Chains A and B, each alone.
Chain A
Amino acid sequence: MWRRASLYIYALVAVIYLTLPFAWVAAVSFMPEREVTQQHWWPEEPTIGNYSLYFDVEGRTADVGAAIARQFPRAIVNSLIIGTAVMLLNLTCGSLAAYALSRLPFRGNLLLLLFYLGSRSVPGVAIMIPMYLLMRSYGLLDTHLSVILSHTTFTLPFTIWILKGYFQTVPLDLERAARVDGCTPLGALLRVFLPVTTPGLVAVGIFAFIASWGEFLFALLFTTTIASRPVTVLASDFAQELGVPFTVIAAGGVLVILLPLVLSFIFQRLIIQGIGGSVTG
């Protein structure tokens, strides 16, 4: 009995730790500014005024932070474009490479694996300047493509690593049967292998998308105007502009978080399996 009770108290503490910071910010995003200064925990006069600032393109331009807020819908679209492209590039390049590594014995596969592992550990700051100059010399600054390429390169090693592990769990007999029936290796990959490994592919796709959505350094360096700026970079403007009420910032934060949060709830099981399997083998 005591054991049960202490277990639930333990669980409660964990839940509070994990949710309280975000819960407070979410609550504040529905408060009028005055209630924050009164240090309320729950909005007594809930309002969606903080959110309407983000979607009310014409009016309320006088509000502090309105200039940033007005660009949000556009920035969310930018983030969606970039994240989706990063996801698709990861899935195509990643599954091809992982298939070869997990299935087809060839010379140099160990070298490749070490190359992938090594490139995963290169910190962003280490290559930011050459990347910046590279993008500048190709005229790619302030385009979606520059951000897509940089995000793909830093998510790809992780994708290959997880997919390789996942592919190895699929019984080899499946493809043997397909090969006996006259499939080419590529045919076996497309018709037999990919359908079976869909959960793994969904997991790494979501992973790549969320990683891209949240990435900041390269997005900050490469983008300058709303034509390409993703939502994280736009949100960081709030850190520079003085006097924006925190209620408005909180609403913006919630808007940025909403999509990754929903995705991670929907694909919870796959994500947990993916992370868990990524390093323990």
Chain B
Amino acid sequence: MTRTRDFLPLLLNLPAVILLVAFIAYPIGISFWMSLHRYNLRRPDQVYFHGLENYATILASPEFWNALWISLYFTFMAVLLVIVIAMAIALLLHESFRGRGVVRALLLIPWAIPGVVNGLMWVGLLGDYGAFNAMLEDTVATVNYLFGINIVYTGMASPFVALNAAIGAHVWRSVPFACIIFLAAIQAIPTEQYRAARVDGATSWNRFRFITLPWLYHAVLVVAIFETMNGFRAFDLIYALTGGGPGDATHVIAWQTYKEAFARLDFGGANAYSYLITLITMTLAIIYIRLLYRRGLVQG
């Protein structure tokens, strides 16, 4: 009886499951298996098992720690900025004013732009004749004048500028998604709470602090986890904007993995890299799923 009843839903899930097993679960398994091998495409005859050696090599290499450090900085700054900016815009869009619909439509512009094109755009914006380059130059000149110091602005040739510009471009494109999630969460707050608070004479800051923020706690957490995963995956933007340079200033971990695989053709080592990224993001995913569980959003 139950068997026939279970048959149809399982059948309906079959196409999706087949696709995901074939192109996600299976590759993940293979990836792990390969990470335990010596496997360089330049020497296809010398493929052999050597346990955790790839991992040992990576953990001992300065490139890995450099990439990890850059990715951590990149991700931390990106998450922080995305949350602050997205929240600011979400709070604005919750107010009613003429032209709100226009602002909401414009919100989707950065979201619709592919990562590669975003990178190319910022190459121009920060290039020699770029709009933002001129602004940055002027800002640095003003600061130099005001404080009587002499910072030399070298644009994207400076590791500091390149890395932070990449973060800025990444944040710009990530803000809309987070903003929409915040907006949905804000709109779910019962308005009676605000009315009651206003009757009690709460200031607007206190209303934000004691009503809005607690209600948004879950949304902020969700965005934080999403953006952390996104930060660790950043690749297309780096490819187009900096190409990992100047030097190794923007060698984020995804870029490093790509280089390891398709420049050095060291598939074993690159798979070990991939696995370390997977571990980091999977840990975050588990936290995220548990979070949804507790809210009762995932139900059996």
Instruction: Kindly list chain A residues whose C-beta atoms are within 8 Å of the C-beta of B183.
Output: 272, 276
B36 within 8 A of A: no
| Min C-beta distance of A268 to chain B, whole Å | 5
Stretch at the interface among A52-60, A150-158, A170-178: A150-158
A264 to B180, CA, bound (A): 14
Residues of A5-27 whose CB lies within 8 A of B: 7-8, 10-11, 14-15, 17-22, 24-25
Q: Is A110 an interface residue (CB 8 A)?
A: yes
Q: Given A96-B13, A125-B233, A235-B117: A19 and B109 within 8 A (CB)?
A: yes
* CB of A261 closer than 8 Å to a CB of B: yes
* Cβ-defined contact, B15 with A280, below 8 A: no
Residue of A nearest to B258 (CB): A125
Q: Mark B88-114, 1 if CB is under 8 A from A, else 0.
A: 110010010101101111111111111
Which residues of the partner chain A approach B292 to less than 8 Å between Cβ atoms?
117, 281
A14–B183 Cα distance when bound, in Å, is: 15
Asked if residues B277 and A126 are in contact (CB atoms below 8 Å), the reply is yes
A93 in contact with B103 (CB, 8 Å): no
A126 and B275 form a contact (CB under 8 A) = yes
When chains A and B are docked, how far (Å) is the Cα of A134 from the Cα of B34? 13
B300 adjacent to A130 (CB under 8 Å): no
Question: Is there contact, CB below 8 Å, between A129 and B274?
Answer: yes
Contact A246/B25 with A216-B236, A232-B114 known, Cβ cut-off 8 Å: no
Contacts of B95 in A (CB 8 A): 7
Which of A8, A213, A239, A277 is in CB contact (< 8 Å) with B239? A239
Q: Which of A43-51, A69-77, A194-202, A249-257 contacts B (4 or more CB under 8 A)?
A: A249-257
In the assembled complex, the Cα of A155 lies from the Cα of B295 at a distance in Å of 24
A253 to B127, CA, bound (A): 16
Whether B17 and A112, one on each chain, are in contact in the complex, defined by CB atoms closer than 8 angstroms, is: yes
Question: How many B residues touch A, CB cutoff 8 Å?
Answer: 107
Known: A149-B19, A150-B23, A156-B20. A257 touches B236 (CB 8 A): no
A208 within 8 A of B: no
**Residues on B with beta carbons closer than 8 Å to the beta carbon of A153:** 19-20, 22-24
User: Looking at the complex, which of B155-163, B190-198, B282-290 is the stretch in contact with chain A?
Assistant: B282-290
Interface residue from B103, B108, B116 paired with A265 (Cβ < 8 Å): B108
Question: In the complex, which of the residues B103, B282, B299 contacts A121, with contact meaning CB atoms closer than 8 Å?
Answer: B282
A123 at the interface (CB under 8 A from B): yes
Q: Which 9 A-B pairs have the closest CB atoms?
A: A276-B184, A214-B114, A121-B285, A130-B27, A100-B9, A216-B236, A127-B27, A100-B12, A130-B30
- Chain B interfacial positions (CB closer than 8 Å to A): 2, 5-6, 8-10, 12-13, 15-17, 19-20, 22-28, 30-31, 34, 85, 88-89, 92, 95, 97, 99-100, 102-117, 119-125, 127, 129, 131-132, 134, 172, 175-177, 180-181, 183-185, 188, 218-219, 222, 226, 229, 232-233, 235-236, 239-241, 243, 254, 257-258, 261-262, 267, 270-271, 273-275, 277-278, 281-282, 284-285, 288-289, 292, 295, 297-300
